[in-house]
Every structure is written in structure tokens, then in C-alpha cells.
Amino acid sequence: MARRISGRSHGDLRSADTRAKVKDDYRPSRDEILRYIAENPDRSGKREIAKAFALRGEDRIWLKDLLRDLQDEGLLTKERKRLTRAGALPHVAVLDIVGRDADGVLLANPSEYTGPGSPPVIAIRISRGATGPVPGIGDRVLAKTFPTDDPSGPAYTGRVMKVFEKRSEAVLGVFRVLKDGTFRIEPVERRQPELIVDKEFQNGAKNGDLVEVEPARASRYGLPRAKVLAVLGSLTSEKAVSMIAIHAHDIPHIFPTDVIAEADAAKPAALAGREDWRDLPLVTIDPADAKDHDDAVFATPDTDAKNPGGVIVTVAIADVAAYVRFGTPLDREALKRGNSVYFPDRVVPMLPERISNDLCSLRGGEDRPAIAVRMTFSAEGRKLRHSFHRIMMKSAAKVAYPQAQAAIDGAPDDRTKPILETVLRPLWDAYAVLKRGRDARQPLELDLPERKILLKPDGTVDRVVVPERLDAHKLIEEFMIQANVAAAETLEGKKEPLVYRIHDAPSLAKQESLREFLQTLSLSLARGAQMRPSQFNGILERVRGADNEALVNEVVLRSQSQAEYSPKNIGHFGLNLRRYAHFTSPIRRYADLIVHRGLIAALGLGPGGLTQAEADRLEEVAALISAAERRAMAAERDTVDRLIAAYLAERINDTFDARISGVTKAGLFVQLPQYGADGFIPVSSLNGDYYIYDETARSLFGERTGKGYQLADRVEVRLLEVAPMAGAMRFEMLSDPKPLPGSRRSFHKAKGRARASQSRFGPRGRRR
């Protein structure tokens, strides 16, 4: 019931819609607040809630306290500065249609769900007069979701925006010929069963081939059977491992004929309608093995007497919008892919090579169309102004990161020596200025080295290295960040629709979890809804050089939200920027192409600008490219796991130095630092005690001794089992458990949970 004030009930509040009007002396109940947030996900900020219920003055303070209580109770979470019901679906979500109810209504589940409990059920609504493909069971769709009030029915209804292409029922596997002449399919997914193939369904497959098979309905006895649909290649070939990930994650990798035809027919862009900047010595600085170059840079001191010590930085980006127009086959395929996908042995590009590696690549000494931003910074690194230009440029040189760094460090080569004083040194001087601004801004500074797999000519792993982090890398990174900020500011200033790159602050639940963990290390994190990256940096600085440095960096990383794309801006927490959009890589990211089109339209830079039809579907586009990014990351990670597992398959029973990379009730994930690969140690294999999971301390500790293992501990392990094609490894723990600070503090609570599980597990975690 609503709280009674001045002796009257709150009966005039009919429904919590976006314009609910109530008298000034009433306050809504908790249930009404929760219902309003569920029904209005796009208008659920604190100010909007107060406005909906006509709360003013002290009532707004009361509302703030109530919302905080609801978050502390786990009933609400805060995302993008808006409140949502805990576990609530986003307003636009990717759904999998799984069945029908008794009335024939299609039912779906979210394709990705990280909330509490089971995934919610969504009833799919089909609009009358709808055009396009009709969804059915087994389809994956993009839909707008709407919460319902029916406690006995589906939690949401969904209105379909797009039906994705049907996934094949086929699965991947490795064709094996056994000694008795029978055929088996070795699984490439960890939960996939082994399959039998009868000779009449071999379809030309040979031992070791990667094949696509259609499983038959499982029989009551024995392994299920399957027939080979297609041979995808041999595992002895260079690119077989990445091909598994490509097929497993449904990554489009073959360009349709009409897309190739459009790319091949494209003509080089003309100078007409562009500024001629071909005399400006812009240079590209990229990895040594880069094939496409979408950004070039130049810098010079600012000669304006009003800006002493200032610099002018120019960033030129390939004008992909000159070739890829909205609605064409090229554009549709680029949106479908969302981004390029990078594997150790290949790249699956977003655009055909004719576009990505030829017409749009800023090759040295060749005329190329570009969109450039010229930015002026003060001596303190504060951006004073910027301007965008549609240009024709000619790169003065193609330089690799180590080349540029060596030249600055006093060892120029034949390519860098002629441009050392005129181009490279001014770039480094400008970076020193921009770094002052970055240091003042204090973005999140996590120290997590990235590893790179180097392959032999046959496609197997040669070694894993940690490339040195050079100032050349940091220079390009900071120049690109500033160009991205300028793009977002310009489009926002012109009121042009755009897709932002957003990164929300850690949720209150994650903050509290991190805070509890840090307390086990005698570290403190200030409370407050408005966290800043500098607060995390302070924690990281305190552990720099300490034994637990890697542990704290890892836990702070896991407390962060995932960056994504959205037409609604909430800022970028990690970079500590109020507005940010991806502009600098349109060859490999569709989001950047959208921003380019927006700039062209907003500034009147000629053809190829953002159309109204595109602007109307930016919410859908943002959801699609965010999903494509997550798909690419998963595929890249799976490929690395498989490559390393295959590499280590010959080293069964060898011992390794490892670091605990994950702790669960089921056991420990361990990472081999020299390889960057993960494996698992089941809790049932940990000897000497009954081990209890302590979520706060990220540890497993012994019920009897209190000793155990914690996230980021360095341990010695033995490799027991490898499933190369599934990328799975099982290890045995060799290191003794150690005393864990903080574990005994939560011992009795954990002990109660442990006793509750005794009906399922034996004294050492084995199933009875």
C-alpha cells in the first residue's frame, strides 16, 4: 500500500505510466516503484521516476533513499544510469524461440542471460500485417521486450524486429577411422557427445578431416549416429582450428557473389569535393604484419601566441563511406558481420579485400580518400577545438611500431631516418602533451599483459609471447581516443543521431563484492554510487609490486561492466569520458562506419551520409553489432584454447607453473602464464580436506585446516588429460594449500552451506 500522508489514501494512482500524476502529499509504495521501472525501462532514471510520481523537495530525498534500499536488497540494479529490476532483460534483446504454449503462442528465452535464477520466458507477438520472414521454433530473433504483470504466465512479451538466418542443425567434429575400420566423430565442443558414422554416410571424409555432420535421433543403446554433410578441411591444414570456431559461432566468412561483384566494380574515389591534403606528411604506424591501414597521423607545434606550448594533432581515417553505401549488398554484409574477427592464423574481414586492403587502405605514396580531424591542445593536454575535413591524402610512410620506437630511441633505419625530425619527433612531442591530459583525466589503469600466439608454417603453435608495450603503441592509442571524442562531440553538438561506445560503472552489487574481497586483503574501497576510475587506480597503485598485484588487477577487471554500443549515451567509465564514439576503424568495425556517415551528414561533407532510414534503426544496429563483438571475442578465445591444448597434448604428466584464474564450487581454473591457456582442477581431486567455496575471498578453503587456494595464487600443477579439439585440459594440484586471510571470518556461514550439500557429495566432494 502507498504510504498515507495528511490522513488520505493514495488511491488516485491508477497505473505507473510515464506521466502518472499524483498529489504532492503522497508517496508511492515500493511495489509501485518497482512496477513503474519494469514498465518503463527507457525512463527509469531517478529524475524520471520523481517526475512520474510528482515528487519534489524532501520526497526526492526519500525516493533516493528508497531506491538505494531496493538496490541493497538486490531488487534493483543500476545500468547506464538507469535502474532496472534485477535480472531484467534489456529493452532490445536477442532471443531464441524454443516452443509454443497451449494456445500456440511462440515462447522464447534470451540467447544470453547472466541474471539470477532461470532465464525468463518471453511470449512472442506477431503484428498483424507484418512483412518479412515469420519466426518459428528454433529461430533466433532480435526483439523489443516488454515486462508483463501476469505472475502465472511469461515474464515478458516480445515484438520481433528481425529474424536471423536459421542455424543449421549440423554440428562440427573430427572424422576418425578406428583400428577396426569403423568411423567416429570426435567432438569439438566440450559438451558434445561422440558420434558413430555408418559407411554409407561417410561422404568422402578421411581420417583427421574437420566435418559438418547431422546427428540422428539417439537410440536407446550405444552412441548416437550421424551422417557427414560436408568436409570442411583437414586438421593438418594451417587454418583448421580457427575454422572450428568460425562454424561453431556462426561467423559469416564467405562473401556472397553480389558483395564481391560490388566490391570489384568499385572505382577509386575522385578528388572532386575533397580538400587536397596530399602534401601533408601523414604516416601510418601499425603492427609489422598489418595488411590494412585505416589511420594516419601528423602533429606540429601550435604557432598561435595565445597557446604557448600547445600542439596541433591531425588524425586521418580511411573514408569507407565513400565505397559502402547504406542498403547495398556491401553494407548489408558488413552489418551482418559487425566487425572483423582476428585469429592467430587468419582474419575474417568485415569488408572484402578489394575494399579493406586496397581502395580504403592508406598505403604509402598512393592517393586515398579520408576523413580527417584536426585537433588543437593546450600545453596541459586539454583539447581547445577541433574540425573535421573530407580529404584526399597520400601517406608519406608506412612504419611499424618497433621501427618508430627505435627511431625515437636513437636507432633509425632507412625508412624512418628521413622523417625522424620532421614527422616522428613532433609526434612524440605531441604525445607528451596529450599524456598530461590523460594523466589529469585518470582513466582506469589495469596492468594485464596481452599474449600473442606465434605459429609455425604448418599452423601449429611455435611459442607464446608478451609483446613489449611501447610508447609508440600508447601514442597511437591516445591520438585515436581523442579523435573518437571529437567525433562524438561534433555529432552531439549537431544533434545528429549516432552510436556511442558506452561503458557503465560497476554495478552496486559488483562494487560491494569487490569491497568485501579487498577487505580480506586489508584494503578499502570507498562507498558511493558515483565511483570514479581514480578510486580503482588508487587500489591498484597500493598493490603495485606486491605479491597480490596480479590478484587485485584480476578482481578489479572482473568487477567492471562490459563495454557495448548504444544510441543512448551514458559515457565511458573506463576511459573516464563523458562522450565517446568509435570513429577510427571503419574498415573493421561497423560502428565506426555509422559515425562516419553521421559526420558526413551533419557537416555537409558530400554523398554517403547517414540517412533517416538508418537513424530510425540505430537501436537495432547497436544491439546487432554489440552481439557480433561478443561473438568474435568468444570465437577468438576458443581458438586460442584449442591451439594451446593441441600444443600441450604431447606433454601429458608434465608439471607446469600456473596461476589460479578462476574459483568455483566445482573446482579451480588454472592458467599457464607462459601460454595464456586455461585448464581445470576438480574440487574432488583436492586432497587432505573438505574444501568450501568462499565467494567473497574468491577461494576454496579446507573445513578442517582453514588452508586453501585463492584466485591469482601461483601454484604447481601436473597435466593429466587433454581434449585438443574441445580446447579442454585437466590438471592435478601439486602445491600444498596455504593459510588464507579472511577465510576463517566467513567460516561458519560457509560451513552451513557445505553441510547442506552433504546429501549430494561425499566427504571430499565426490558424488555418491
Q: Would the CA dihedral through 157, 158, 159, 160 be positive or negative?
A: negative
pLDDT in tens, 344-383: 888 999 999 999 999 999 999 999 999 999 999 999 999 9
Q: Do domains 1-88 and 92-163 have the same CATH topology?
A: no
Domain ranges of the chain: 1-88, 92-163, 171-236, 257-498+574-633, 505-560, 652-756
* For helices 58-72 and 508-519, angle between their N-to-C axes, nearest 10 degrees: 60
pLDDT in tens, 717-732: 999 999 887 788 999 9
For 419-445, what is the mean pLDDT? Answer: 96
- Predicted structure pTM score: 0.75
pLDDT in tens, 434-459: 999 999 999 999 877 777 888 888 77
CA R_g for the chain = 29
Between residues 656 and 527, the one the model is more confident about = 656
Among 282, 285, 354, smallest CA distance to 324 is for: 354
What are residue 461's phi and psi, to 5 degrees? -75, 130
Count of beta carbons in the 10 Å neighbourhood of residue 379: 14
For 477-493, what is the mean pLDDT? Answer: 98
Q: How far apart are CA 117 and CA 124, in angstroms?
A: 21
pLDDT in tens, 516-548: 888 877 888 877 657 889 999 999 999 888 877
CATH topology of domain 652-756: OB fold (Dihydrolipoamide Acetyltransferase, E2P) (2.40.50)
Q: How far apart are CA 500 and CA 594, in angstroms?
A: 10
For 644-659, what is the mean pLDDT? Answer: 90
- Residue 217 has a pLDDT of 64
pLDDT in tens, 124-179: 887 665 566 678 777 788 888 888 877 778 888 888 888 876 555 667 888 999 98
pLDDT above 70 covers what percent of the chain? Answer: 86
Between residues 406 and 761, the one the model is more confident about = 406
230 within 8 A of 209, measured Cβ to Cβ: no
CATH of domain 1-88: 1.10.10
- Residue 21 has a pLDDT of 41
Q: Is 69 helix (H, G, I), strand (E, B) or coil?
A: helix
The answer regarding whether domain 92-163 maps to CATH 2.40.50 reads: yes
Q: How far apart are CA 71 and CA 65, in angstroms?
A: 10
- Residue 691 has a pLDDT of 94
Q: How far apart are CA 203 and CA 271, in angstroms?
A: 54
Q: Would the CA dihedral through 429, 433, 435, 439 be positive or negative?
A: positive
Residue 94 gets the label, from left (phi > 0), alpha (psi -120 to 50) or beta, of beta
In this model, does residue 636 exceed pLDDT 80? yes
Between residues 3 and 159, the one the model is more confident about = 159
- What is the four-CA torsion angle of 628, 553, 242, 563, rounded to 10 degrees? 10
* For helices 58-72 and 30-39, angle between their N-to-C axes, nearest 10 degrees: 80
The answer regarding whether domain 171-236 maps to CATH 2.40.50.700 reads: yes
Mean pLDDT (the chain) is: 84
